[in-house]
Structures are given as C-alpha cells and as structure tokens.
A and B are shown apart, each in its own frame.
Chain A
C-alpha cells in the first residue's frame, strides 16, 4: 500500500514578511537572516483552515489520515490540526496526536509511523503504536544561548537557567512536552561529549538523528563519532527548520534517539 508523509509548514515572520517554513524560505536564507538581520523573527502555527484544506485534498486519495504535531505546550499547531477535523467537507477518518516533542524527536516518530503504515497497520492500531513510540523518542539539544527561547516565550521549565552572566552551553531535554534543563557546560567540547554519551547510553537504538542550526561541521563530526555505536550512514543528519531555529537560535546542536520496541 502507498503511504504518504505530508508536511504542513508553520510560518516564520520577519517584520512584515512571512514565509512558509522551507517552502518559501530555505534554511540557508533563514539562518543568514537570523544572524544578520536586525529584525527578530516570530513564528505562527497554521490556521485550522490550512489543515482542513490539506485533509480535504488528501481525502481524495485516502480514507485515513494520522496527523502528528509538535508539542502542544510549544505551539498551537495541535489545536489547529484538531479543530480542522470539523471543517472538512470530504469523508475521511482523521486522528490527531500531540507528540509532546519537537524537531527530529517528532521527525523520527513520523518516519517510524509511516513505516508501520507501509507494512499494513491501520489507523486505530497505528495511533496506539505512535502513542507508545512517543515514550521511546528521546530528544536533547545543546543551545548556545537561551535568548531566542526566552524571546519566543518557549522557554518552559528551562527559565530558571536564564540570566547567566557567563556564556554557557545549555543542555535541555523535552519533558511533558516542555523544554526542561539537564545541565550546562562552558566548553563546547564538553557539551558535545555530553550529547555523544547520551546517545551511547542506549542499548537498542532503532533510529538516530543529528540536527543543528548553524553548526554543520560539528554536526558532521558528531555524526562521524556516533558511527562507533550505530551505523553512521543510517543517522538522519539535518538542519533544524526555520520555525524551530527561530526559538533555538544559532549554535544549536541536537540529537534524537528512537529506541527499538521491546519485543
């Protein structure tokens, strides 16, 4: 059977200009502006009507849609996706799941869910499968600064780390859908060691992802190094999307481990 992953982009806004994430702005363009532009970007979720249009369009080809969104504690996207269910005109079963995570934490869940669907798992069962997979998806990020998170109001439980007079790297995880502090380092080498050791602590890794905002070389090196514990050609290595980059800021490096299902 055919399974399709459709991406619904959020919007990033610089002043009066708004862009659809990776549709009308590339990551390169975005990070250039983020680091050079004096205008501070903001982001916004898709309106329910955007989801409704996509649901309707997909309904022409499918009878079941599973929408998985980034954490509802960080964005209203989940609400939009949910509300859109009542707006559709075509007949189609739709399930909406709040992943309570973000970035490739969400990405790896979506990819794994698509594989399940490919193997013939139907909506009800798939939805339960995703709920279980959520607890196996572990995302941690190292931020160079908390300024961007704080400005965008997405700081969550990490707010107690704010206000450091020294430049420090902040390690954060996602807990109950919100960012939560792990620890801090002054040196980048030590913070990357932490990311590596975090991944190396898992014994049954199903998928792994490395993503960054403006640190391609460090991301490559980390990926290379992770080759010691997991086939490096299977590691998803990507750049953080503009909408998330707005809140993570430059100099962010993240790693996600999706644990294999216990048999």
Chain B
C-alpha cells in the first residue's frame, strides 16, 4: 500500500470505524481493568458506545471534507458519551475537530496539532484532573506526535506511530502515577481504551484492516511487576459509591463553567462538557435528585441515565473473580499496617482483610474476603489471638472449604504463608502451615497503657514493654533496652534471621539503630529491617 500523504473525510470515517471495531474486540478486557475512579467495570463498554455514536454520526455526513467529518464525529461522541472516560473521549474528539477545522484533508503535521488541541480540551472538561489516566495518555501521545511532526519523517503514518508508541508507554506507566492501579495490579482502563483506538487507527493507515479481523488488541502490561499470585482486590466494606448520573442538557446560552462550579461540591468525578446549546454532564453523587432539579431549571434533559454504582461494583467484583487467575488454594490474611500488608501480598496472600490488635475484623469482613477470592478452598491466617475465634466462625457461613491456621502474630502468619507447598493439597498445606508457626518467635514492643504489676514486673504507664509470643516479659527505658532483655531469654543458637517490622509511628532511622545494635550483639545473625506500618506496636520482631 502506498504511504498515505493526506487523509480525507472518507478515509477519516473509515479510520474511525476501523478503530471502533478494534476497540470492540477488547472492550470487555478493558472493563475488567477498571478500578479508577470507581471500580464499576464499564470503561471499555462506555468508550465503545461513545465511539459507536461517533461512527453513526460520521456516516450520516455526506462528502469527503475531513473537517466536517471530524465535527460530526465530535458531535456523535458528545451525544453518545457514556461514563467518565466516554465523556473525556468526547472532549478529545472535540479538540481534534477544532484542530482540523477548515481542512479538506489533513497531513501528519495537522494531525499532531489537532491531537495537541484534543489533549488541552480533555483536561479542560474536568474539574479535578488526575494523572495516570486517559488524560496522561492523550497528553503524552500528543507530545510525541508533535515531536515527530517537527522531524523529517512527519508523514501521517510516522506521526500516528509516534503517538501510538507513546500511548503504549504511557499506559504501562499509569500504575506508577496512580496508587489505586498499583494496588490492583492493573493499568488504567481509560488509557488502555484510548491506546486501543489510536492503535486501531494506525493499523488502518498501515492498510491492515483485513488482518485485524483475525487479531485482538493487547492489554498493555503494567511496568510494575505484579506482586503476589492474584491482583490484590482491596477490601471494600460498604463504601457508598452513590449513583452515576449522566445526561444531555439542551438549552440556550448554557455555560459549562457555571454548571461545573455549581455542581462541583455535589459529588465526585464531575465532568461538564459541550457548547452553549448542548452540555453533557457526568457526576457520581449520592443525591441525583438535586442535580436533576438544577439541570431542569436550565433547559431540557435527554438521555438521562442514573445507575446505582454499588450494584455495579458488586458486578465488577464478580467479574474480577472470574477473570483472576484460578488459584486452587487461596490464602486470606488479617493484617494491620500497609507495610505488613505489602509483605503478605508479596509472598502470595490472595486477599488481605485489614485489622488486628484493637481493631478486630468481624466475621462478615472475613466472609466477604472468602467470597471475593476465586478459589473454593481458603486458608485463613488470623494473625491475632482475638481474631482466631472469629475466623473459626466463617466455615459455618460458607459453602467453600475453610482451614484456619491459628496464627497469633504477623511473623507467624508470614512463616505459615512461606511454607505454602505448591505441590501439596489443601489439608496438607494447612497442616504444614500450622507446623510452621512454631518455627518462629515473635517479640512485640509497645507502650504500657496503664501502670500495673504483672509477671513480677512493675510497669509504669507509657513505659516501653516487650512481649514474647504474647507474654509480657520485660519493661524498660527504650526499645533497645527491652529487646535486649527479651533476646537474653531466647536461645539464639539455632536462629538465623531476625526481621524487624517497624510501626507507623517509628522512624526508619530508629529501626536501623535497633538493627545495628542486634548485629553488634549477635554477628552471626542476619538482620532485616522492613517497614510494617502497623499501629500500636513500635516494633514487631520475628526470630527464625
């Protein structure tokens, strides 16, 4: 195929139609990525519906004027926009259409300019732009295409290639920018959608439309290595998402800025885009009534769509469950502290239920976790004495098979998790894990909440105290002092590794001091310092 110099309106229509069918092939995969702003799992579908509306509108436009076709695409996108990313996509088309205004045909340089306008327009519609989303992807794709357009190879194909490559990298990088993606181990769904559309367009330009029938778009892998055996599904307990409310508002002299300001405090993920005659509004709100009252005072409402996002979220969790790797045996751990949660996840814990000392999770919390995992055999690591009885209730409430390994500390839980034998069956693993808990000793260091006499120790309020495997053994002036007293009571002959997990309120430098001290006293031991981030305990120390 000849290298295309310019694109006319007819080609633009075909390109957008090709890109839309390309997107269609991976829409459901993109749905499964969706965790931001709300994990409701509809991004791919919403973007697809938006694009379809664009294509319909484009094919109703006669002639081959690129500018007119682009405008009809933008109009179709605005009319048909669904969901957050759909609305942002419609802004992108609007910017592109503005950039291509008055152009019968366009070349690589025109396209790069238009993409830049699209990027600007995408940011403009949103009251609170977040990086690591489709916005970052359009921005970086536009920057790359501008750079390409300024070089010698500034034909449309090269410019589009530059945009697609940059979009690919940008999507892979989204988890670095947006923590919720990192936790879920996915790339941004909207960004992936935009990449797929651009890639579809590129393939059209390359003349690959026919081969595309037999291929499928790739979901870009995150550039952060996936931790654990499963995408970590954050435990969400009844955080109300409210209603996803969207509609088209028609009237006269509508002002997007005024509407945006007025609605800003009424919910999240607000997007208001359009012109003085047509506005598209998208908002996540707990009170859709108030939004509708306001909107009807400005004009007439069309395509009103209000969805309960809590229901959507449940559907999404189901979908995640189906898509997550089928693990034969799942492990559910109760952990407090973000650092310790990361440690458990990194060692393959399938699901984390936040909780521990002074914040014991309910049976329901555990049950929710058990339901969320894909496996029907679940090992529960309670990691706290008070959570063990709760965990033992779970079996009565579920069809799944449950084994509780009665770990009473995070180090015990970690030792159990490590013992997981990939070759062994459910019962054997539970047995191995139970045995493993005795291979580790746990020291916990905290402050006394009141003055007391215990185990022959006279303890003052707020004094540093230390427990060995749950038993109060020492009190002292500081952590090092207390740790020394306890270590003196342990036979370290057979020990190899001491791991110090320091708490949320303990500085890393202090933990390093403790570590240096132990190394000095016991040079034969390997000492590791890890941020546990746990509340209440300054240090949790494991000895193995």
Residues in A lying within 8 Å of B, measured CB to CB: 150, 160-168, 180-190
Contacts and interface: CB of A to CB of B under 8 A. Distances in A.
A163 B226 contact: yes
B225 interface: yes
Contact of B414 (A162, A166, A189): A166
* Among A150, A182, A186, residue most surrounded by chain B Cβ atoms (within 10 Å): A186
A196 B421 CA distance: 17
Contacts of B420: 183-184
A185 B418 contact: yes
A186 B496 contact: yes
Contacts of A189: 494, 496
Interface stretch (B4-12, B139-147, B339-347): B339-347
A165 B530 contact: yes
Contacts of B223: none
A180 B494 CA distance: 30
A230 B494 CA distance: 27
Contacts of A181: 422
Contacts of A180: 422
B69 interface: no
Nearest to A158: B422
A184 B414 CA distance: 11
A164 to B, nearest CB: 5
B422 A162 contact: no
A180 B415 CA distance: 21
A166 B415 contact: no
Contacts of A162: 225-227
Interface residues of B, number: 27
Contacts of B496: 186-189
Given A160-B229, A166-B528, A189-B496, A183 B343 contact: no
A166 B346 CA distance: 8
Given A165-B530, A183-B420, A184-B419, 6 more contacts: A160-B348, A163-B228, A166-B499, A182-B423, A184-B418, A186-B499
B286 interface: no
Interface in B420-471: 420-423, 439
B343 A163 contact: no
Contacts of A160: 228-229, 348
B544 interface: yes
B497 interface: yes
Leading 5 A-B pairs by shortest Cβ distance: A163-B227, A187-B496, A165-B346, A181-B422, A184-B418
Given A182-B422, A187-B496, A188-B496, A166 B347 contact: yes
Nearest to B497: A186
B262 to A, nearest CB: 46
Given A186-B496, A187-B544, A190-B439, A164 B422 contact: no
A88 to B, nearest CB: 39
B530 A166 contact: yes
Contacts of A167: 497, 526, 528
B116 to A, nearest CB: 38
A190 to B, nearest CB: 7
Interface string B402-426: 0000000000001100111111000
B347 to A, nearest CB: 6
Contact of A164 (B346, B423, B494): B346
Contacts of B544: 186-187
Given A163-B226, A166-B499, A186 B423 contact: no
A168 B422 contact: no
Contacts of B499: 166, 186
Nearest to B423: A182
Contacts of A186: 415, 418, 496-497, 499, 544
A225 B262 CA distance: 78
Nearest to A180: B422
Contacts of A150: 225
B163 to A, nearest CB: 29
Contacts of B348: 160-161
Interface in B194-232: 225-229
Contact of B225 (A163, A166, A188): A163
Nearest to A157: B422
A183 B528 contact: no
B315 to A, nearest CB: 27
A8 B398 CA distance: 58
A182 B225 CA distance: 21
Contacts of A182: 421-423
A120 B19 CA distance: 66
A186 B496 CA distance: 9
Contacts of A183: 418-422
A160 B228 CA distance: 6
Contacts of A161: 348
Interface string B495-528: 0110100000000000000000000000000101
A23 B227 CA distance: 39
Contacts of B494: 189
Contacts of B419: 183-184
B299 to A, nearest CB: 53
* Among B415, B418, B422, B439, residue most surrounded by chain A Cβ atoms (within 10 Å): B422
